Amino acid sequence: MSATEPTLASEQSRTTRRNLWKTALEVFLRAGRRWRLNRAAAELSRLDDRQLEDIGISRNDIPKVVEGLFNTREAQALPLADKTEERPVAAEAYPRAA
Q: To 10 degrees, the CA torsion angle through 47, 39, 69, 72?
A: 180
pLDDT tens digits along 32-42: 999 999 999 99
Give the residue-averaged pLDDT of 71-80.
56
Instruction: Transcribe 47-83 into DSSP letters.
Output: S-HHHHHHTT--GGGHHHHHHHHS-HHHHHHS-HHHH
Residue 10: per-residue pLDDT: 81
pLDDT tens digits along 39-59: 999 999 999 999 999 999 999
